[in-house]
């Protein structure tokens, strides 16, 4: 007799073999951390870890959508820097103004990307490289190249500090809402399928009467909005608008997406695996910090980056091995 639940799991694994490696590694790393370090699994570490990595997660899921259409968005790091300044300037008016303001600024720059890529037909790499430089300059101009402190008297500070319903910080709750929303958008709506169809074959999508223009505009605007949200988290997390931050974030986001098994050429991708990828990258730093805390070794931030690079490479290799084994049906 075949156990039906086991059968379903097997089906699921075979259907999702592109992201199997990242989940296995993530779970292994968590188990390793919990067993090796005290307090690793404690609520403080979990909460502060998620709080800090929230901005990387929202950027990564936005990036995932762009990559699934076969595009790329290099501007996300600069956009986050820019909107962190915007959020800091708006913080005296409270979160109800700063949040929509920062997100709107991100959406606007995303709209600019969409205009370049869709209307002017400029390759995404070039177009978003231009807005990356532009947004970075913009952040420095409006801030005078200074960090802009947030207004500590307004309710803006609640974002990172106060717990929603007494359980988790607002940052994490908002991130979860964004992630779930985008997951539904990808998996359950026709728009999500259009996004994948474009990445798989843009000509074919046009021939089927799919609204390719609309979907492509949407992914860039969406990615901009996500980066805007990340900027808000950045300002709240650091207590200031950070015009010089965000360097290399686009690459971390791309790494999260790729580690999650999403094809860089588009046409295939997963929101949940992208989140797992972003968590994995953050977790490496978290674990190295704990390791340093044991006092046996002391790795500088630079060495941590080297290790993270090597680890990332190892996971991608592992991932592709797992994917091909699962495909052959031996799992």
Partner 1 sequence: MQHLIEMSGIKKSFAGVVALQNANLHIAPGEVHAIIGQNGAGKSTLIKILTGVYRRDAGEVTINGTPSTVSTPREAQDAGIATIYQELSLVPLRSVTENVMMGYEPRTRFGTIDWKAAHKRTREILERFGIDIDVKAQLGSYSTAIQQLVAIARAVSLNAQLVIMDEATSSLDDQEIEILFSVVRELKKEGVAVLYISHFLDELYQICDRVTIMRDGQTVGQRVISETTKLGLISEMLGRDPEEIEAAGMTGLGGGEKAEPGSSLFEAENISTARGLKDVSLTLRKGEIVGLGGLLGSGRTETARALFGLDGLKSGKIDAHGSSGQIGTPAEAIAAGVGFLTEDRKREGIVPHMSVRENMTLALLPKLKTMGMVDRKRETELVERFIKSLGIKTSGMEQPIRELSGGNQQKVLLARWLALEPEVLILDEPTRGVDVGAKFEIQSIIREYVDKGLGVLLISSEFEELVEGADRIVVLRDGFSITELENPGVTEEALIAAIAHHHEEAAA
Residue closer to partner 1 (CB basis): 15 or 295 = 15
Binding mask 262-301 for partner 1 (x = CB under 8 A): -x---xx---------------------------------
Binding mask 167-186 for partner 1 (x = CB under 8 A): -----------------x--
What is the SS3 assignment for 228?
helix
Please work out the total of residues on this chain that contact partner 1, with binding judged by CB under 8 A: 26
Q: With contact defined as beta carbons under 8 Å apart, do 291 and 299 qualify?
A: yes
Nearest distance in Å: CB 62, partner 1: 20
> For the purposes of burial, counting CB atoms within 10 Å of the CB of 202, is it exposed (0-12), middle (13-18) or buried (19 or more)?
middle
The helix or strand, by DSSP H or E, that contains position 148, with its residue range, turns out to be: strand 148-149
Q: Is residue 107 within the footprint of partner 1 (CB under 8 A)?
A: no
Residue closer to partner 1 (CB basis): 131 or 205 = 205
Q: Is residue 207 within the footprint of partner 1 (CB under 8 A)?
A: yes
* Cα distance between residue 242 and residue 139, in whole Å: 8
* Interface pick for partner 1 out of 43, 190, 298, 320 (rule CB under 8 A): 190
> For the purposes of burial, counting CB atoms within 10 Å of the CB of 240, is it exposed (0-12), middle (13-18) or buried (19 or more)?
buried
Beta bridge partners of 14: none
Q: With contact defined as beta carbons under 8 Å apart, do 220 and 110 qualify?
A: yes
* Interface pick for partner 1 out of 48, 140, 193, 285 (rule CB under 8 A): 193
Between the CA of residue 210 and those of 12, 200, 227, 320, 324, what are the distances in Å? Answer: 29, 13, 27, 32, 32
Query: Among residue numbers 209 through 248, which ones bind partner 1 (CB under 8 A)?
Result: 209-211
Beta bridge partners of 17: none
Q: Is residue 3 within the footprint of partner 1 (CB under 8 A)?
A: no
* Interface pick for partner 1 out of 36, 188, 294, 321 (rule CB under 8 A): 188
Residue closer to partner 1 (CB basis): 135 or 197 = 197
Q: What's the DSSP call for residue 319? A: H
Task: List contacts with partner 1 (CB under 8 A).
Answer: 15, 184, 188-190, 193-194, 196-197, 199-201, 203-211, 263, 267-268, 328-329
């Amino acid at each position: 007799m075949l156990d039906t639940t086991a059968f379903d799991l097997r089906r699921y694994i075979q259907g999702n073999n592109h992201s199997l490696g990242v989940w296995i590694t993530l779970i292994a790393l968590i188990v390793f951390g919990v067993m090796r370090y005290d307090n690793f699994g404690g609520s403080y570490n979990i909460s502060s870890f998620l709080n800090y990595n929230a901005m990387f997660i929202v950027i990564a899921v936005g990036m995932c959508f762009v990559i699934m259409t076969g595009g790329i968005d290099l501007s996300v790091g600069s956009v986050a820097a820019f909107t962190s300044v915007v959020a800091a300037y708006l913080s005296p008016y409270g979160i109800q103004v700063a949040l929509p303001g920062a997100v709107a600024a991100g959406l606007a720059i995303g709209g600019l990307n969409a205009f370049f890529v869709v209307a002017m037909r400029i390759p995404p790499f070039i177009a978003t490289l231009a807005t990356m430089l532009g947004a970075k300059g913009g952040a420095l101009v409006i801030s005078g190249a200074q960090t802009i402190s947030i207004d500590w008297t307004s309710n803006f500070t609640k974002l990172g500090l106060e717990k929603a319903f007494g359980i988790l910080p607002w940052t994490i709750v908002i991130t979860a809402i964004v992630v779930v929303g985008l997951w539904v958008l990808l998996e359950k709506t026709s728009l999500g399928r259009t996004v994948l169809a474009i990445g798989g074959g843009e000509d074919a999508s046009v021939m089927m009467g799919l609204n390719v223009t609309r979907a492509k505009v949407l992914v860039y605007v969406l990615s901009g909005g996500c980066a805007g949200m990340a900027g808000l988290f950045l300002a709240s997390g650091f207590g200031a608008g950070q015009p010089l931050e965000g360097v290399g974030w686009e690459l971390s986001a791309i790494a999260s997406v790729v580690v999650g098994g999403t094809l860089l050429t588009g046409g295939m991708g997963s929101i949940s695996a992208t989140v797992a990828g972003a968590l994995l990258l953050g977790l490496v730093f978290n674990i190295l910090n704990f390791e340093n805390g044991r006092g046996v070794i002391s790795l500088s931030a630079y060495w941590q980056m080297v290790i993270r690079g090597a680890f990332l490479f190892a996971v991608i290799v592992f991932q592709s091995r797992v994917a091909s084994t699962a495909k052959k049906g031996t799992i």
